[in-house]
Amino acid sequence: MEAADGMQSSTMQRRCERLRETIAIHRRRTEQERAAFEQFRRELSAIGKMSEQGASREQVVSGGDSDAVVTGWISPLLAPATSTQTKVREAFAGTIMALPFYDEEYGESLPDAIEGEFGPSVAAGLTDPDCFGPHLFAGLHRRIRQSQRAREVLLETCDQERHAIDALSAKLPSFAHEVAQLDKLCLGDIDFGALEAHWRRLETITTQCGRLATRRQGVISRQRAQYQLAAEDPDIYEYLYRGYPVSYPMLAMITMTIAAVEERQRALTGAMGECDG
């Protein structure tokens, strides 16, 4: 029978496995996003080259003996801006927004997606012909590199999370098993020495859980400090586990284990008191 507080080895294993599955989904999607940005970068480069190759030179001659008036190179980047803008927007929609999970993950319109990813100045350049020019391509390439780097950082975070989950899985299920075994005992039938031995073992578990909690809290705090997040701003871990009932499920599992162990310690203390009496 499963303890009311979930202190069963199988329960802890299932929770750890769910965390692994969550991180695996994030990692897979992030890899696909990184690949999509690379495809968008290649298509953007192709559009830029086509625009350069399509530059035309017009020579306007007014009459037989009159001087020739050369208008020079007319770049499609400057003249038919809307055509190039459309190609860039279509390339973004056909790569980034074409990802199968895009609507579920982001649910943004094309203008909102462009602004959210590349900023308002690039978004304006892709919607307003008056803001469009050759500088847009350089700016877009810079922002694409930034977006790719952000995905690489997220991939690194996913790998670190997977290792953290493995470390948790190596400890908490065995702790839960020990607690479950203790719950099967009738404390009134155990002598003082055995009760004290159980109490001390639980104290060791509490100490180890405390170290796990301190380490986890340190990871969270360092990430928030690194990005100078305000107290109300969500961090990367809240993003990764946003479908969970708590913001930091690993930390919650540790604190739940500590609370369960301390409850058993109080029961052991009461039983030892009765032995003294």
Instruction: Give pLDDT, residue 234.
Output: 94
The answer to the question of residue 71 being in a domain is yes
* Contact indicator for 33, 151 with CB cutoff of 8 Å: yes
Instruction: Give pLDDT, residue 136.
Output: 83
- pLDDT per position as a tens digit, 53-85: 654 433 333 344 433 333 333 343 344 556 888
Which residues, at least 6 apart from 162, have a Cβ–Cβ distance to it below 8 Å?
20, 23, 24, 27
Asked if residue 176 has pLDDT above 60, the reply is: yes
* Contact indicator for 175, 261 with CB cutoff of 8 Å: yes
Instruction: Give pLDDT, residue 48.
Output: 85
- pLDDT per position as a tens digit, 194-213: 999 999 999 999 999 999 99
Mean of the pLDDT values across residues 150-163? 96
Grade residue 226 by pLDDT with cuts at 50, 70 and 90.
very high
* Contact indicator for 266, 196 with CB cutoff of 8 Å: no
- pLDDT per position as a tens digit, 94-120: 999 999 999 999 999 999 999 999 999
Domain residues for the domain of 79 are 29-150
Question: How distant, in Å, are the alpha carbons of 57, 78, 122, 125, 142 from that of 135?
Answer: 21, 11, 10, 9, 11
- The whole-chain average pLDDT of the chain stands at 87
Distance in angstroms (rounded) separating the CA atoms of residues 268 and 196: 8
The answer to the question of residue 199 being in a domain is no
Instruction: Give pLDDT, residue 152.
Output: 96
Instruction: Give pLDDT, residue 130.
Output: 72
The answer to the question of residue 128 being in a domain is yes
Instruction: Give pLDDT, residue 63.
Output: 41
Mean of the pLDDT values across residues 213-221? 97
Instruction: Give pLDDT, residue 73.
Output: 33
Q: Greatest CA separation found in the chain?
A: 126
Grade residue 3 by pLDDT with cuts at 50, 70 and 90.
low
Token pair recorded at residue 22: 């969550």
Instruction: Name the residue type at position 232.
Output: E
The answer to the question of residue 100 being in a domain is yes
The answer to the question of residue 46 being in a domain is yes
Token pair recorded at residue 213: 């909690």
The answer to the question of residue 23 being in a domain is no
Mean of the pLDDT values across residues 253-271? 96
CA atoms within 13 A on the CB side of 270: 9
The answer to the question of residue 105 being in a domain is yes
Packed helices 172-183 and 192-226: angle between N→C axes, nearest 10 degrees: 150
The answer to the question of residue 196 being in a domain is no
Count how many domains the chain has: 1
Say what percent of the chain tops pLDDT 90. Answer: 74
Distance in angstroms (rounded) separating the CA atoms of residues 170 and 55: 64
